[in-house]
């Protein structure tokens, strides 16, 4: 599995995958795009501009960065079968703002991954110069699903 290393310290962003959790609960089904969802504070702006694109704006320097990143890439194991899955294997729901500094996007598994969901949460505190990203894998299947690996960072490219 590839893992893209990004110069996140050059741009004030740390899409930290410090929290990868798993829980059992049935994901709701929907199929709307999360594109257009925005998080902002006085220093940074983060916008979902497509299914595998984020736009990061450093408001202090005026620089804009295009982050080419699928929301997640996971190696999952289910009943002895191992597979690499991405957000393309899931149906996204509209972004939810549980608070002013959080954006949560849920993905419901399709096809072979029906019953498995992934919640992607971005947190941008009011005084922060970084964005924290966490994943929660939700299993509504009768048997266990094991996360063997996760890629949550993308490649950073400055625009303009």
Tens of each residue's pLDDT in the chain, 160 residues: 333 333 332 233 333 333 344 444 433 333 345 667 889 999 999 998 887 888 999 999 999 998 887 788 999 999 888 999 998 999 998 888 899 999 999 999 999 999 999 999 999 999 998 899 999 999 999 999 999 999 877 655 656 5
Residue listed under structure tokens 């924290």: 132
Distance, in Å, from the CA atom of 158 to the CA atom of 138, rounded to the nearest integer, reads 34
Minimal CA–CA distance to 64: which of 81, 44, 49? Answer: 44
The answer to whether 79 touches 143, Cβ cutoff 8 Å, is yes
Q: What is the CA radius of gyration of the chain?
A: 16
């Amino acid at each position: 599995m590839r893992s893209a290393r990004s110069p996140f310290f050059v741009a004030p962003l740390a899409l930290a995958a410090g929290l990868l959790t798993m829980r059992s609960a049935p994901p709701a089904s929907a199929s709307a795009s999360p594109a257009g969802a925005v998080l902002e504070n006085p220093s940074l702006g983060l916008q979902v501009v497509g299914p595998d694109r984020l736009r990061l704006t450093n408001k202090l320097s005026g620089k804009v960065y295009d982050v080419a990143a699928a929301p997640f890439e996971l190696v999952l194991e289910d009943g002895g079968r191992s597979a690499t899955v991405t957000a393309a294997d899931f149906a996204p729901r509209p972004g939810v703002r549980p608070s002013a500094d959080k954006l949560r996007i849920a993905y419901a598994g399709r096809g072979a991954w029906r019953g498995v969901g992934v919640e992607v949460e971005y947190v941008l505190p009011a005084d922060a110069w970084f964005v924290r990203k966490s994943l929660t894998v939700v299993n509504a299947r009768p048997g266990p699903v094991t996360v063997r690996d996760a890629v949550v960072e993308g490649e950073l490219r400055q625009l303009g």
